[in-house]
Amino acid sequence: MKTYATSKDINSHIGTLRNEGKTIGFVPTMGALHKGHLSLVELCKKDCDITVVSIFVNPTQFNDKGDLQRYPHMPETDSKLLEEAGCGILFLPGEQEIYPKPDTRVFDFGQLDKVMEGVHRPGHFNGVAQVVSRLFNIITPDKAFFGLKDFQQLAIIREMVKQLQFRVEIIAVPIVRDTDGLALSSRNMLLNEAQRKMAPLIAKTLFEAQKKAAKLSVSVVKQWVIDTVNRSSELSVEYFDIVDSLSLQPVQSWDDAGQIFGCIAVRVGNIRLIDNVRLS
């Protein structure tokens, strides 16, 4: 695995690979890698000749400075995991490399960023669009791989690609869960023992909601999920929305959209976890 810290160096190497007719797959991450990230790498390896992974904790997408400071940093461990996973190229830039000057771009995503995460993390998706577009310009991938755990982010990135006319195919990869159902997240390692023990209730409740959706109304299912998770002393629901998978707008009836998802954010002490399931 080759590791690069500058845009110039990685761009030069990728240019050589392109001249050889290689297809480039890309997995952007913020590090603290787990099996969910590695599933993206695995699929990328199958679909593309070259797998590029970036590790960069992007400051512009954190509206909470405490969350940025708490986010785990372990580049040496991550690098070893990627090498073992067969990653071809690691891009490990510093902040100055990604933002040689302040990125003042403001994106308009219509209603996509006005709900769920957008309400509770103002400016978050603008920061995501800034960093992902910057990385796409540097890596110039043919395909880029993102996990479905970040359901709203995936919709935002698809819209950004459309607006900026990037020639990259966005591949959505299913959520990877621990044996107890908890969606894998870099933030899971920040949970204490009691919190980690209770956190799987989030997924358990969502899976139960899938069954209830066949018999109960949208409003009843929504309230049941919120009440069930909130009964835990360790968990507090920030939001649970039942939405159209394309527009991300809340639905009132199971007939309102072709695919309907339930998306949740839960506070576990100072840690914030998200998850989602298809309900209809």
DSSP strand pairing (2-4 vs 89-91): parallel
Q: Which two tokens stand for residue 210?
A: 């899938």
Does residue 171 carry a pLDDT above 90? yes
Is the Cβ–Cβ distance between 208 and 221 less than 8 Å?
no
Question: For the residues 91-100, what does the mean pLDDT come to?
Answer: 97
For residues 229 and 264, the answer to whether their CB atoms sit within 8 Å is yes
**Of all helices (H) and strands (E), which one includes residue 257?**
none
pLDDT, mean of residues 229-256: 98
% the chain with pLDDT above 70:
100
Distance CA 274, CA 185 (A): 9
Say what the pLDDT of residue 65 is: 85
Residue 111 has pLDDT above 90, yes or no: yes
Which pLDDT belongs to residue 176?
98
**Residues 222-234 pLDDT 10s:** 999 999 999 999 9
List pLDDT tens digits, range 252-277: 999 999 999 999 999 999 999 999 99
- Ordered structural domains, the chain, with CATH: 2-173 (3.40.50.620), 186-275 (3.30.1300.10)
Q: Is the pLDDT of residue 91 over 90?
A: yes
Residue 118 to residue 114: CA distance in whole angstroms: 5
Determine the average pLDDT of the residues in 199-214. 98
Instruction: Point out which residues pair with 54 in neighbouring strands.
Output: 28, 91
Rounded to an integer, the average pLDDT of 58-67 is 91
Give the closest residue to 91 by CA, choosing from 177, 195, 17, 9. Answer: 9
DSSP letter for each residue of 105-116 = -----TTTTSST
Are the C-beta atoms of 210 and 55 separated by less than 8 Å? no
pLDDT of residue 273: 98
Known active-site residue 37: yes
Mean pLDDT of the chain: 97
The amino acid at residue 115 is V
Judged by DSSP in three states, 158 sits in helix
Count of helices and strands (H, E) across the chain: 11, 9
In DSSP terms, which residues pair with 173 in a beta bridge? 147
Find the mean pLDDT for residues 20-43: 98
- Active-site hit among 13, 34, 37, 73: 37
